[in-house]
Amino acid sequence: MERKINRRETECEEKHSNSEGSEQDKDYKTSLITLNVGGYLYITQKQTLTKYPDSFLEGIINGKIMCPFDADGHYFIDRDGLLFRHILNFLRNGELLLPEGFRENQLLAQEAEFFQLKALSDAVKSRWEKEQLASRETTFLEITDSHDRSQGLRIFCNAPDFIAKIKSRIVLVSKSRLDGFPEEFSVSSNIIQFKYFIKSENGTRLVLKEDNTFVCTLETLKFEAIMMALKCGFRLLTSLDCSKGSIVHSDALHFIK
C-alpha cells in the first residue's frame, strides 16, 4: 500500500515539474519577437523592443499601435531593413555604435525619428555635428629629420582619424625595420622625427641607422600613405609642391574625401 502511495506521489511531482518546465519554455518563447523590417528578419527579446516607453516599437509590442503581419505571422515594418540593425543595436547597448566609415547619418536620423527614439536621434545628431566640424579642419602629419625639419614629408588631410591611422602604420613599418626602437625616432601628436634621416649620394632620402644599415626609403613611406588613403576612400588632390614634377619626388601630399 505504501509503495502505491509513494509511486503516485512521485508521478504527481514529475507531472508538476514537467508542467512548470513547459510553462517556463512557453514564457521564454513568447518573449522572443520576430520582426520583418523591409524584408529582413530580426529576432530579439520583447524587453529589448520595449526598452524606451512611448517609442514606435514599444507601442507595437504592447498593442498601442496597429501593425500589419507578413505571410508567416511576423510583424511587418515597411522601413530600411539594413539600417534597422543599428536601431536594434542601439536598443541592446544603450549607445550608438557604428562601423568605421559609416556615411548614412541622415538616413539613420530619419529612421530614429520614425521609430520615435529621441535618445538615438540626439546621438546621431551629435555624431553628425562632430563629423562636420572635423571635415572643416585640415590636419597634418610631418615626417622629418630631427636635425633639419625642412627636410622630409608632410601629409595633409581633413580627417584627423585618418592621420592617426596613417601615423600608426608608418610607426609600425619603421618599428619593424629598426632594432633600437624607440631610440631611432620619436613620435609626438603630429610629428615623427627620425634620428638618422639623411641624403644618399644620388639624392634619394634614406632612413639609415647609425652604422649606415639601410632601413627604408622616404618613397616607401609615401607609398604606404597613398595606398592607405586610397583604400579608405580618400582622393589625392595634388602634390602641394608641384615644382618637384611628380608625387614620388614631392615633399607634401594632400588627401581629401
Note whether 238 and 156 are within 8 A (CB).
no
In sequence order, which residues have a C-beta less than 8 Å from that of residue 12 and are 6 or more positions away? Answer: none
What single DSSP character describes residue 242?
Answer: G
Residue 136 has what DSSP assignment? T
Q: What residues contact 48, with CB distance under 8 A and at least 6 apart? A: 88, 91, 92
Q: What is the pTM of this model?
A: 0.49
DSSP strands (E only) in 46-116 = 75-77
| pLDDT tens, N- to C-terminus, the chain (257 residues) | 444 445 555 555 555 555 555 554 445 445 899 999 999 999 999 999 999 999 999 999 999 999 999 999 999 999 999 999 999 999 999 999 998 778 899 999 999 999 999 999 999 999 888 877 666 555 777 776 655 555 677 788 877 777 778 777 777 766 665 554 445 556 666 677 666 554 444 444 444 444 555 555 667 777 778 888 888 888 887 654 445 555 656 677 888 77
Burial of 163 (0-12, 13-18, 19+ CB in 10 A): buried
